[in-house]
Amino acid sequence: AQTVTQSQPEMSVQEAETVTLSCTYDTSESDYYLFWYKQPPSRQMILVIRQEAYKQQNATENRFSVNFQKAAKSFSLKISDSQLGDAAMYFCAYRNRDDKIIFGKGTRLHILP
Amino acid sequence: DAEITQSPRHKITETGRQVTLACHQTWNHNNMFWYRQDLGHGLRLIHYSYGVQDTNKGEVSDGYSVSRSNTEDLPLTLESAASSQTSVYFCASSEWRERPQYFGPGTRLLVL
């Protein structure tokens, strides 16, 4: 069975600074997808970024980028130029061959003005 | 625009009652999922379906059931609600894993 671990329950960053959220996972599959979801106070799950395991190039979406280390089973999220609207719970997630998503327990990100 | 909706958005019920949470998507996705979200656990998979008449148990399926009579809907039933089922419930759908999995807005359920 696959597992996803987020070791940082909470983090804080100064507005306009850069922050990195950590995620590790465990799997025996070779073909899978990884995601970061953002959940603001509205509780809506918003897809931030996704990475296909077969792609070596790290995914980027505007201010959001990942550092995907397949051998180490690590998938961290970097947020550049942090904004107040980035404050939310962030979930790392693994999508397996059966299309099921396994979520980490989340990291609550605070943005300090 | 295509979307995924959940109803009700908030529900209060008593222990022992049967409760059904609705999930409806207009993308014509084959795959649909129900998750629950609790503090300290993230989202955990309850049941899922890959198509009409197909249902499967997830990680935390005890006390829940689903049925899939058409492509658009996957209702979640709590057969006899328990206080441990107080949670926020999310429905999601996808075409297949190469495509994003879209989440509904969630249903907050309180079992007294």
For B11-40, what is the mean pLDDT?
94
Give the span between the Cα atoms of A37 and A83, in whole angstroms.
17
Instruction: For A59-85, write each residue's pLDDT tens digit.
Output: 999 999 999 999 999 999 999 999 999
3-state SS track over B6-23: EECCEEEECCCCCEEEEE
Interface mutation vs chain B, best among A10, A45, A49, most B CBs within 10 Å: A45
The proportion of chain A whose per-residue pLDDT surpasses 90, expressed as a percent, equals: 84
Amino acid at A61: E
Q: Of chain A residues 67-106, which have a CB less than 8 A from chain B?
A: 91, 95-97, 99-106
Give the span between the Cα atoms of B92 and B97, in whole angstroms.
12
Q: Is the peptide bond before A40 cis (omega within 30 degrees of 0)?
A: no
Interface mutation vs chain B, best among A97, A101, A108, most B CBs within 10 Å: A101
Instruction: For B70-82, write each residue's pLDDT tens digit.
Output: 999 999 999 999 9
